[in-house]
Amino acid sequence: MTSTGNPFQALRDSADFARLRDLSVRIGSDPLQVQGAGGNTSLKGGGAMWVKASGTWLADAGTKDIMVPVRAADLAAELAAGGEPEAAAFVAPPGAPKGLRPSIETTLHAAMPQRVVLHTHCVATIALAIREDGTAILRRELADLNPIILPYVMPGLPLAQALMAEASPDRPVAVLGNHGLIVAGDSPGGAEALLFDVSGRLERAVAPPLAAEATGPDSPNALFSSRYRPVEAAALQAVARSPRHLALAARGPFFPDHVVFLEPDLRIADENEDLETAADRLTRDGQAPTLVLLPGVGAAIRRDASPAAEAMARGLGDVIARVPPEASVQALAPAEVAELLGWDAEKYRHGLSLAPSQG
Ligand SMILES: [Zn+2]
């Protein structure tokens, strides 16, 4: 390969690029790390960076071209100088694959100084990062890693600025309040090992996941109708059947992708109300709910729901199933939800995810 002189081509041709692609498939295929188009990975060198494109799925990294070249050093310098850089303006030759642009979280990757950065919506991390007592638990479990622990900050530029204020080469882990996890390293293998080390520690620190089979009778027929079918996620079925977990879930939304890919407010049937009656009652602006939870019975999802919505329903169940129902939790405030829904970049990502053929 004649890659001399172009740091982007040199990175792209490197063994580490192939390793990053392989690990992207692994973490993208793990629903406890990544749901749908969430999560992103990057590799830097010589001022250059390749980062996942917006709206694409990490799980597709092995079969589709989903990485975009970005001038990371220039982007980081503008961030550090207090500017408001737009990642799309930093795309470098050879350019993004057709129709794609850098992830809305590109600035997070530029803000971290390490060579490899992995960002996931790890459910164990989120299950702690929505709790009032979560920071103390995170500090205890990750003490040796001197983690950066941020409160909820609006994704995009505000979050990147908050992260950059604390980022340093000796702090490879960041927990983003009501959002997820960032793990970094000098090599793809090192970063991946650290990701699963951190996730494993946090999985052991959260409440044991609610077991679907222990939470009540199975009434699958009640979850089928002309417009609906049962959600595939066992954890969300278990949440619907556990009154205390269902009450906890209803206090959300707790994290941005729930707001973007599902209705922000959970639509819950009344006791003994059947699925279609509930769906009609819970229809807003002519839109039947994507998800309907039947207390004590289970959760149904629209038959025409996108794969992203199904993945998010699973993520929601996996998070709530790991939170003790008596825990004090912090939901996103109404103003934060509105900010997420009005955000053009998120709408763009949502649109791509509804049309997987474009991925
Ligand atoms: Zn994220």
Could you tell me the distance, in angstroms and rounded to a whole number, from the CA of residue 38 to the centre of ligand 1?
6
pLDDT at position 225 over 70? yes
1, part of any domain: no
The domain tally of the chain equals: 2
Could you tell me the distance, in angstroms and rounded to a whole number, from the CA of residue 119 to the centre of ligand 1?
7
Could you tell me the distance, in angstroms and rounded to a whole number, from the CA of residue 103 to the centre of ligand 1?
10
pLDDT at position 324 over 80? yes
pLDDT tens-place string over residues 145-176: 999 999 999 999 999 999 999 999 999 999 99
| The pLDDT value given to residue 4 | 54
> 288 and 180 share a domain?
no
Q: Distance (Å, rounded) from C-alpha 141 to C-alpha 126? A: 14
241, part of any domain: yes
Is 235 in contact with 174 (CB distance < 8 Å)?
no
> 12 and 144 share a domain?
yes
> 182 and 302 share a domain?
no
Q: How far is CA 39 from CA 59, 128, 219, 263, in A?
A: 10, 18, 34, 20
- Average pLDDT over every residue of 203-212: 85
Domain end, chosen from 165, 185, 205, is at: 205
pLDDT at position 69 over 70? yes
Could you tell me the distance, in angstroms and rounded to a whole number, from the CA of residue 126 to the centre of ligand 1?
11
Could you tell me the distance, in angstroms and rounded to a whole number, from the CA of residue 325 to the centre of ligand 1?
25
> 141 and 104 share a domain?
yes
Could you tell me the distance, in angstroms and rounded to a whole number, from the CA of residue 121 to the centre of ligand 1?
6
pLDDT at position 181 over 60? yes
274, part of any domain: yes
- Average pLDDT over every residue of 78-83: 95
Query: Alpha helix (H) ranges present in 206-333?
Result: 234-241, 243-249, 256-261, 275-281, 307-320
Task: Specify the 3-state DSSP secondary structure of 317.
Answer: helix
> 164 and 222 share a domain?
no
- More confident: 228 or 264: 228
- Biggest CA-to-CA distance, the chain: 69
Could you tell me the distance, in angstroms and rounded to a whole number, from the CA of residue 225 to the centre of ligand 1?
34
> 292 and 166 share a domain?
no
Confidence of residue 207 (pLDDT cuts 50, 70, 90): confident
Is 148 in contact with 167 (CB distance < 8 Å)?
yes
The residue range of the domain holding 73 is 7-205
Domain end, chosen from 185, 205, 225, is at: 205
Could you tell me the distance, in angstroms and rounded to a whole number, from the CA of residue 184 to the centre of ligand 1?
15
Is 108 in contact with 153 (CB distance < 8 Å)?
no
Over the chain, what is the mean pLDDT? 92
Could you tell me the distance, in angstroms and rounded to a whole number, from the CA of residue 354 to the centre of ligand 1?
18
Lowest average pLDDT, out of 41-55, 152-166, 342-356, goes to 342-356
Could you tell me the distance, in angstroms and rounded to a whole number, from the CA of residue 74 to the centre of ligand 1?
22
Closest by Cα among 24, 204, 222, 26 to 116: 24
pLDDT at position 32 over 90? yes
pLDDT at position 354 over 50? no
Is 316 in contact with 258 (CB distance < 8 Å)?
yes
Could you tell me the distance, in angstroms and rounded to a whole number, from the CA of residue 214 to the centre of ligand 1?
32
Could you tell me the distance, in angstroms and rounded to a whole number, from the CA of residue 286 to the centre of ligand 1?
30
> 31 and 83 share a domain?
yes
342, part of any domain: yes
2, part of any domain: no
The percentage of the chain sitting over the pLDDT mark of 90, rounded to a whole number, equals 83
Q: Left (φ > 0), alpha (ψ -120 to 50) or beta: where does 218 sit?
A: beta
| The pLDDT value given to residue 356 | 38
Q: Left (φ > 0), alpha (ψ -120 to 50) or beta: where does 187 sit?
A: beta
Could you tell me the distance, in angstroms and rounded to a whole number, from the CA of residue 105 to the centre of ligand 1?
7
pLDDT at position 1 over 80? no
Could you tell me the distance, in angstroms and rounded to a whole number, from the CA of residue 176 to the centre of ligand 1?
8
> 346 and 296 share a domain?
yes
Could you tell me the distance, in angstroms and rounded to a whole number, from the CA of residue 51 to the centre of ligand 1?
13
| The pLDDT value given to residue 346 | 55
Q: Is the dihedral of CA 174, 353, 94, 59 positive or negative?
A: positive
pLDDT at position 347 over 80? no
> 198 and 300 share a domain?
no
Could you tell me the distance, in angstroms and rounded to a whole number, from the CA of residue 147 to the centre of ligand 1?
17
| The pLDDT value given to residue 5 | 75
pLDDT at position 331 over 60? yes
Q: Distance (Å, rounded) from C-alpha 241 to C-alpha 115? A: 44
- Average pLDDT over every residue of 281-302: 95
277, part of any domain: yes
Amino acid at the residue 242 = S
Q: Distance (Å, rounded) from C-alpha 247 to C-alpha 154? A: 26
Is 67 in contact with 52 (CB distance < 8 Å)?
yes
Could you tell me the distance, in angstroms and rounded to a whole number, from the CA of residue 255 to the centre of ligand 1?
9
Q: Distance (Å, rounded) from C-alpha 271 to C-alpha 252? A: 20
- Average pLDDT over every residue of 70-89: 96
Domain end, chosen from 205, 237, 262, is at: 205
Residues bordering ligand 1, an ion, CB closer than 5 Å: 180
> 173 and 268 share a domain?
no
Could you tell me the distance, in angstroms and rounded to a whole number, from the CA of residue 37 to the centre of ligand 1?
10
Could you tell me the distance, in angstroms and rounded to a whole number, from the CA of residue 55 to the centre of ligand 1?
12
pLDDT at position 273 over 50? yes
> 163 and 254 share a domain?
no
Q: Distance (Å, rounded) from C-alpha 17 to C-alpha 62? A: 11
> 75 and 185 share a domain?
yes
Could you tell me the two tokens for 209?
């996941």
Q: Any idea what the CATH number is for the domain that residue 101 is in?
A: 3.40.225.10
